[in-house]
C-alpha cells in the first residue's frame, strides 16, 4: 500500500504543478501566439492548433527530464 501512496502523492504534485503552469501561462501573452501556431477562422468555425507552442513545451520538458536524470 505504501507504493500506492507514493504514486498518488507524485500524481498530486504533478497535477498541482500543471495548474501552476497554466496560471503562469495565462499571464504570459506570448504563449499560444507563437509564429507557427495554426489558427483558422471561418464564419461559424474556429480551428486552433498550437504547433510551435507544443514543440517549445516538449523541448523544455525534455531538457528538464534530461537534467534530472543526471
From 30, 33, 29, 36, select the one nearest 55 (Cα to Cα).
36
Contacts of 47 (CB under 8 A, 6+ apart): 38, 39, 40
Closest of 60, 63, 50, 49 to residue 21, by C-alpha: 60
Over the stretch 5-51, which tens digit does the pLDDT of each residue have?
888 888 888 888 888 877 776 666 666 677 888 888 999 998 988 88
Write down the domain spans for the chain.
1-31, 33-70
Q: Which pLDDT does position 45 carry in this prediction?
A: 92
Give dist(CA 40, CA 54) in Å, integer: 17
pTM over 0.95: no
Query: What pLDDT, on the 0 to 100 scale, is given for residue 2?
Result: 72
Q: Which three cell numbers stand for residue 64?
A: 528538464
Between 37 and 70, the more confident residue is 37
Amino acid at each position: 500500500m505504501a507504493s500506492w501512496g507514493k504514486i498518488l502523492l507524485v500524481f498530486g504534485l504533478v497535477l498541482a504543478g500543471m495548474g501552476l503552469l497554466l496560471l503562469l501561462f495565462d499571464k504570459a501573452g506570448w504563449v499560444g501566439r507563437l509564429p507557427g501556431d495554426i489558427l483558422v477562422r471561418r464564419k461559424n468555425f474556429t480551428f486552433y492548433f498550437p504547433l510551435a507552442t507544443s514543440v517549445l513545451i516538449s523541448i523544455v520538458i525534455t531538457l528538464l527530464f534530461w537534467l534530472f536524470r543526471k
